Amino acid sequence: MLDTTAELVAEVGVERTTIDEIASRSGVAKTTIYRHFPSKQVLVVEAVHACTHIPAVTDTGSLRDDLISCFSGMTKASYEGRLGDMMLSLMDAAQRDPELGRLVRAQAEQRRRFATTVIERSVERGELPDDVDVDLLVTMLSGPLVYTKLVRRQRVTEELVAAVVDSVLACYRAPVAPESAANA
């Protein structure tokens, strides 16, 4: 049931996926589907969870390397394969369906927590200032990647992730005072 639901959502979208079609394709009776899933939304939510791969958050001791690993893993997990095919339809349907809206927000929050963890560790190590706005930094890192995938409809590459991480981190590097000014 879950595989069939995921296939249908990827093919035709959440709105056009029906319990009748899920039953027909999966060979599972509608009564059985409704016994396990009281609504199409609950079934779609479970199908998304079944497709979601949670990447491991590494701790290499390097903020740059950890962010690249984190965002490369998140973009691959979120936007490639069946889940990637489902995301645009899910995001659209989530605007009108509160249950799907909670799903999309929960997934986004889960991915955000990975990046937040990486940044908070780097603050503890002294790589970033104590007063860094973690939420803003995560948004600055996520924005170009989401825009590339969802608006431009282009693949998020490892090279793009590295370029975004490097560009954003450059904003947080402390300017080095010229040697003559430091000695004055």
d(CA 88, CA 65): 29
Q: Is the pLDDT of residue 144 over 90?
A: yes
CATH code of the region 53-170: 1.10.357.10
Summarised one tens digit per residue, pLDDT across range 60-115 is: 999 999 999 888 876 665 555 677 777 778 888 989 998 888 877 887 888 789 89
Amino acid at 68: I
Nearest residue to 9 via CA among 107, 94, 102: 94
CATH number, span 2-49 = 1.10.10
d(CA 3, CA 50): 8
**Residue 180 confidence (pLDDT):** 46
Residue percentage of the chain with pLDDT more than 70: 88
Residue 91 burial class via C-beta count within 10 angstroms: exposed 0-12, middle 13-18, buried 19 and up: middle
The separation between the first and the last C-alpha atoms of the chain, rounded to the nearest angstrom, is 73
Domain residues of the chain, as ranges? 2-49, 53-170
Residue recorded with tokens 């706005």: 133
Give Cα separations from 121 to 67, 124, 160, 168, 169 (angstroms). 11, 5, 23, 17, 15
| Residue among 130, 110, 113 nearest 122 (CA) | 130
Nearby residues of 123 by Cβ (< 8 Å), 6 or more positions away: 129, 130, 132, 134
